[in-house]
């Protein structure tokens, strides 16, 4: 996997305080970083990072926006699904050279002071993928009705109306047995 310099923040050269970084990313970025789910046809992700530098730690706030093109879980037609999420991360500077020696919390990462740049590409990838909703369904239209393929909805309605199978009444005789619990 090649390293891309645009995702490396040279934190030692930055002044204390707030800095903003914007990224517009597509499907190529996700394919480069890892296995992309097959059902994702396209993506346009807008990532804004608010980087606040303090003396011994950094605060990173990731705003994820944009959209993915994916099939609807209900009707199967491709549609544009909006993405929106926020993530916070604290990066603490440590005096040890290996980050393995430090306890890692989900929202806290330790980086040795000897590092001069901070590669944020993996965090961007993870946060974009985490912003994908688990259930991907067409949003409702202005009338409050599903915006799904009408033919698929009709077919689903017909399948839901099919009569239930006849129950097997082999246990029916057990209902007449009474157990006396007052012994």
126-174 pLDDT tens trace: 999 999 888 888 888 888 887 888 888 788 888 777 666 666 677 777 7
Can you give the three-state secondary structure of 155-170, one letter per residue?
A: HHHHHHCCCCCCCCCC
pLDDT value at position 177?
77
Q: Which residues of the chain have pLDDT under 70?
A: 1-3, 97-106, 162-168, 183
Calpha distance 12→87 (Å, rounded):
23
Q: How many CB atoms lie within 10 A of CB 9?
A: 21
β partners of residue 64: 47, 85
Nearest to 150 by CA among 88, 91, 36, 72: 72
Q: Which residue has the tokens 């599903």?
A: 146
């Amino acid at each position: 996997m090649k390293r891309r310099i645009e995702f490396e923040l040279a934190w030692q050269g930055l002044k204390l305080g707030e800095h903003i970084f914007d990224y517009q990313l597509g499907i190529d970025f996700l394919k480069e970083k890892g296995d992309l789910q097959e059902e994702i046809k396209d993506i346009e992700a807008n990532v804004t990072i608010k980087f606040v530098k303090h003396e011994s730690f950094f605060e990173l706030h990731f705003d994820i926006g944009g959209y993915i093109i994916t099939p609807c879980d209900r009707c199967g037609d491709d549609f544009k699904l909006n993405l929106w999420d926020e993530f916070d991360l604290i990066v603490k500077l440590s005096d040890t050279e290996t980050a393995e020696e430090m306890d890692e919390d989900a929202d806290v990462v330790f980086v040795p002071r000897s590092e001069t740049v901070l590669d944020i590409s993996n965090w961007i990838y993870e946060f974009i993928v985490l912003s994908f909703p688990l259930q991907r369904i067409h949003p409702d239209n202005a009338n409050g009705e599903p915006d799904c393929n009408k033919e698929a909805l009709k077919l689903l309605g017909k399948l839901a109306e099919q009569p239930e199978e006849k129950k097997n009444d082999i246990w029916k005789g057990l209902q007449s047995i009474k157990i006396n619990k007052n012994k």
